[in-house]
Amino acid sequence: MRAILSGVLLLAAASAWADWVKVTETRDTGYYLDPASISDQGDFRRVSVIQDYAQQAPGGVRSRRVSYEIDCAGERLRSVAATEYSQPMAQGASVNSWERESEWLSVASRTGSNIPSRTPYRPILRFVCSR
């Protein structure tokens, strides 16, 4: 009975992130996007992104699920909410969460961008705005 329950829980956990698409990665973080979470409001879109860390961060954080608002025409984005988790792929216990709009980050490749050119935000914006 215990083996069956463990198997069911494992399948449920796997299906919870089976539709996430890896968009980019840095040396220590994978960035996964849920295409089904993209909501379209003209030039503005919202999307859920999981930041999956290779190692546990301080405070017991192993992953973070962030809701981004993306301005496709202006090539910029900002976070509007986030929840940090104790396990990979936004699983396990919620460690911390918040809802607040960050400053807009310009991710355009033109002069004037306020973030480095090799940022994970540019592939996220391109993926979301190409839909």
Give the domain CATH number at 51: 2.40.128.710
Q: Does 3 map to a domain?
A: no
pTM of the full structure? 0.80
Q: Does 100 map to a domain?
A: yes
| Residue from 65, 44, 51, 66 nearest 128 by CA | 44
> How many domains would you assign to the chain?
1
Q: Does 53 map to a domain?
A: yes
Q: Does 9 map to a domain?
A: no
Q: Please give the pLDDT value at position 17.
A: 46
The conformation of residue 60, written as its DSSP 8-state character, comes to G
Q: Is the pLDDT of residue 111 over 60?
A: no
* CB crowding 30-52: b at 16 or more within 10 Å, else e: bbbbeeebbeeeeeebbbbbbbb
Positions of E strands within 26-90: 29-33, 39-41, 44-57, 61-71, 76-87
Of residues 109 and 56, which shows the higher confidence score? 56
Q: Does 31 map to a domain?
A: yes
Q: Does 86 map to a domain?
A: yes
Q: Is the pLDDT of residue 43 over 80?
A: no
Q: Does 116 map to a domain?
A: yes
Q: Does 101 map to a domain?
A: yes
In this prediction, residue 112 has a pLDDT band, given cuts at 50, 70 and 90, of low
Q: Give the domain extent around 108.
A: 19-129
